[in-house]
Structure 1
Amino acid sequence: MEASPLRCTTPIELRPAQLSRLLGYELPYHRRKELFGMDEPEDGGSRSRKQYYSPAQVAMYRETHEPGFSLADNPQSVPPVVVTRMTKGGTGKTSFTANGSTILASMGYRVLVIDADSQGSISELFNVDTENESLLTAMDLFLNGEPLEKVVIQPFADTSLDLVPGDQFIARYDSTVMSERGREKLIQKWFQENQRQLAAKYDIVMVDTNPASTILNYSLMMAADLIITPVFLDGISLKAIKCIINELEEIKTEYGVSVPLHFVSNGLHNGWPHTKMNDEQLRLRFKDQVFNKKIPHYVGFSKQHLPGEAALPLFLRDTASSAAWSLVEVAKELAKLLHLRGSSNLL
C-alpha cells in the first residue's frame, strides 16, 4: 500500500524527557545513541546529543526492546474502533480525540482518525483546510465507494497517524441513506468489508463525532468496539449522559449489539468545588467505566487554535502543561483497556 499523502512537513519532535513520560520508563542513553545516532554539536562544541526523537524512532525502539510490541509477535487483528460521542457540545470530544490519537501515535502505535463531524473540527486541529482544498472526505469513504488509501492523508511527518478528513457534506449522510434498508448497519458493514486492510495498517481507529442524534452517529456507535464520552464537570453535561445511554439501550434492544461505554472527567478545577462534586458523582454512578485520570480545567486548550499560526493539539502546542500530561495518562489507560500491543509495558 502506498504511503498516505503528507500534509504537514513539520514533524512531531519529542525530547528524551517526554519519551520517558510517554512510556513510563527511562530510555538508556547508550541505547538511544546506538539506534538513533546523535545530532551535530551546536556552535562548534565538542559534545553532541540527540535532541529530538520522532514517533517512527519510538516505534523502532519499542519494536527492538519491548516484549510484546513487535508486529512480528502480534498476529494481524482488526483494530478496535473507538468512537468519541456525547450528546452535548463543548465537553472536549474533539480535543480528546485529537490529543489521544497524537499521543498514541507518538508512542509508536499506528492510528487512523476519522473526522465524522460536519464542522470538520479535528481536521482543522490537524491543520487541514477542507473548505478551501479539494480533498476526499469521510462522505466519500462511507458512501461514494472511494478506497481508504485514496482518502487518508498524513497530518505529520514521520508519524503513523492517518486522517480521513471531514467537512460540511457529511451532514448529508442521513438524507442520502434514509431510504436504504439496513441503513443503521452500513458503516458497520464498511468496517467488516475492510477488515483485512485495516488490520494490516492500523492498531486503533478513532472517530470524532458531533453531538446530534443522527443516523450517522447511530451507525458509528453500532460499528464501535468502545464509546468514550468526555464529560465536562458541570450539571448540564451530567444530565446529557442520559441521552447517550438511551441510544445505546435502543441499539441493544433493536439489534442485540452491546457497546461498552467509558467516561473521561474533563474540567476539574481545585477552586471550583462543584467540579470535584460532579466528578465524585460520576464515579459513584459508573465506577470502573470512568477513566482514573482526570483532565484539569486549563485555559491552554484555547491555544490549540491561534490566529496566524498552524493549529496543533495541546500535546504538541503546550507539552509541559498538566493538562497535556493528564491526556497522556488517559491515552495509556485507553491502550491498556484495548490491549494494544505492548500496552502492558506502559507505566
Structure 2
Amino acid sequence: MHSDIERISELADAGERMIERLRRKAFLPESRKGLHVRFGIAEAAQLLGCSTNRIRMAEEDGRLPPPPPSENGRRPGYTVEELLNMRQVLGASPARAPLDVPAIIAVQNFKGGVGKSTVTTHLAHYFAVQGYRVLVVDCDSQATTTTLFGFNPHFNITREETLYPYLSIDPTQADLLYAVKKTPWPNVDLIPSNLELFDVEYELAAAGADGGSILATRFRKLKAGLNDLARDYDVVILDPPPALGTISLAVMQAANALLVPLAATTPDFCSTVQFLSMMDQVLHQLTEAGIDVRYDFVRLICSKFDGNDPSHAMVRQIMEQAFGPALLPVPILESAEISHAAMRMMTIYELDRPIGTARTHKRCKANLDEALGQVEALVRRNWGRVAPASEEDVVNEAA
C-alpha cells in the first residue's frame, strides 16, 4: 500500500517521463530543437528598414550571398543567421554602442499564471528577430523558460549547469561563463535552470546569524556576474521565481529594468498591487542595508487579454486608471496560436508555418511585434536613440 507521499513521487516521475516523450516527439529526428523559420525578402527588408531592391542589389554585386535557391518556383526565404549577416553588410544592426549600458530586464510578478515565462521567451525571440544579442537567464527552479528553449530540466540540465555553483554557500565558480549555453537562435544564449537551483534558497535560509551579510554578498555577486556577462550582449532578460525569496531579491537588485506581466482579471490586478507594495517595502529595506537598486524603467504589460470579453475590458480600464502611463498601451492578446506553439515548446517567432489559420497567426504575430516593440522602444530610449528610420520614412520626410 503506497502512502500519499510516495504517490507524489510516482506522479512526478511519470510527469517527467511524459515531458521527455513530448520533447522527443517535438524535436525529432535528433531530439534537439532546431530553428526552421524563414523570412521572405519583403519581410527581411521591413526588418532591416530598407528596400527589397537594396537587398537584391547587394546580392547581385556580391556583398551578400546569392538569394536562396527556388523550390517549386518559390524562394524559401532567409534564415535568422542570414538576416544577421545582412544587417552587418548593409549597416542595419540595432546593437548598442560600446558605452551604452546593456538592458538587464527582470520579468517579474509573484502571481502565477500571468504568462511570465511565455512573455520572457517571446521577448527574447522578438529581440533576436530585430537583430539584438540576447542572453536569457532562467532563475526559476520550475524551469519553464528552460523547457521552452528545448531543454528538459530533469534529463538535460544538471545543478552544475545552473546558477547554483555561482550562488551557493560554497561556490565552485567565480564567474557565470560556465553556465551560458547556445540555443537554436544564433544570437540568443541561455543560462538554464532546474529544480536543484532551489537548494540555494535552503542554504541561505540555514545560514544562521551571518545570514544577513551572506545574503547581501549574494545579491551583489549576482549583479556583478550578470554585468560582466552583459558586456557581450545588448539585452539580458531574467526570469525569476514567482515568489519572494533569496533569488528573487537578488534578481531585483541585479536588474536595471522591470517588466511586470499581469492578466486582465480582478484577482490578477489585486495580486499585482500586493506585489508592487511588497516590492516597495523590500526595495526600501535593501536600500537601508546599503544595497543599491535602480531601474531605468518600470512598466506593466497586460498579458492574455481577450478583447471580446467585457470583464477583461473592464479590468483593463481599472488598470489604466490605477497605473497610468506605467501600463504599456498595447496588451498581449490571448491567442490559441500561442498556446498551440507552447505545446510544441516553441514561441510564435519559431513557427515556420501557422498552426491554426493563417489569419490568426498573422494577427497574433502582429500583436506581439507591437506589444513587445514597446519594450524595445524603452531600451533604445535609454540608450538615447529611437528606432532607426526606414528608407521609406526618410524619402517621405524629404518630400
Whether 2:323 is the aligned partner of 1:291: answer no
Identity between Structure 1 and Structure 2 (%): 18
Task: Specify the code of the residue in structure 2 equivalent to 1:210.
Answer: P
Q: Cα distance 1:151–1:324, how it changes in 2: closer, same or farther (>3 A)?
A: same
Counterpart for residue 56 of structure 2: 30
Deviation at 1:245, TM superposition (A): 1.1
Counterpart for residue 93 of structure 1: 116
Counterpart for residue 3 of structure 1: none
Deviation at 1:70, TM superposition (A): 5.8
Matches of 1:328 and 1:240, distance apart in 2: 27
2:254 to 208, 219, 223: 223
The structure that is helix-richer by fraction is 2
Q: Cα distance 1:224–1:194, how it changes in 2: closer, same or farther (>3 A)?
A: closer
Q: How does 1:193-232 map to 2 (within 5 A)?
A: 193=225, 195-199=227-231, 201-232=232-263
8 Å contact kept, 1:115–1:165: yes
User: Could you give the per-residue CA deviations for residues 92-113 of structure 1, whole angstroms, max 9, x where no partner exists?
Assistant: 1111100110111121111000
Give 5+ residue unaligned stretches, structure 2.
1-31, 288-292, 355-360, 391-399
Counterpart for residue 195 of structure 2: 168
Which one is further off, 244-253 or 337-346? 337-346
Q: How does 1:36-51 map to 2 (within 5 A)?
A: 36-43=65-72, 49=75, 51=76
Counterpart for residue 329 of structure 1: 370
Whether 2:58 is the aligned partner of 1:53: answer no
Task: Specify the code of the residue in structure 2 equivalent to 1:149.
Answer: L
2:163 to 111, 132, 138: 138
Matches of 2:65 and 2:219, distance apart in 1: 41
8 Å contact kept, 1:62–1:70: no
8 Å contact kept, 2:260–2:299: yes
Which one is further off, 204-213 or 245-254? 245-254
Q: Which has the larger radius of gyration?
A: 2
Counterpart for residue 255 of structure 1: 286
Matches of 1:223 and 1:31, distance apart in 2: 45
User: TM-score under structure 2 normalisation?
Assistant: 0.74
Matches of 1:81 and 1:241, distance apart in 2: 21
Counterpart for residue 314 of structure 2: 277
Q: Cα distance 1:346–1:222, how it changes in 2: closer, same or farther (>3 A)?
A: farther
Residue 146 of structure 2: SS of its match in structure 1? helix
User: Aligned residues, how many?
Assistant: 330
User: Could you give the per-residue CA deviations for residues 108-166 of structure 1, whole angstroms, max 9, x where no partner exists?
Assistant: 11100011111110111111112012441132343344343321212215x21001111
User: TM-score under structure 1 normalisation?
Assistant: 0.84
Q: Cα distance 1:36–1:140, how it changes in 2: closer, same or farther (>3 A)?
A: farther
Give 5+ residue unaligned stretches, structure 1.
1-6
| Greater relative CO, 1 or 2 (CA 8 Å, sep 6+) | 1
8 Å contact kept, 2:68–2:78: no
Matches of 1:299 and 1:235, distance apart in 2: 22
Deviation at 1:17, TM superposition (A): 4.4
Counterpart for residue 266 of structure 1: 303
Q: Cα distance 1:169–1:40, how it changes in 2: closer, same or farther (>3 A)?
A: same
User: Could you give the per-residue CA deviations for residues 51-72 of structure 1, whole angstroms, max 9, x where no partner exists?
Assistant: 322333333333344577366x
User: Could you give the per-residue CA deviations for residues 245-265 of structure 1, whole angstroms, max 9, x where no partner exists?
Assistant: 123212332233344421111
Which one is further off, 227-236 or 295-304? 295-304
Matches of 1:160 and 1:59, distance apart in 2: 8
Matches of 1:21 and 1:294, distance apart in 2: 23
Matches of 1:89 and 1:346, distance apart in 2: 39
8 Å contact kept, 1:248–1:258: no
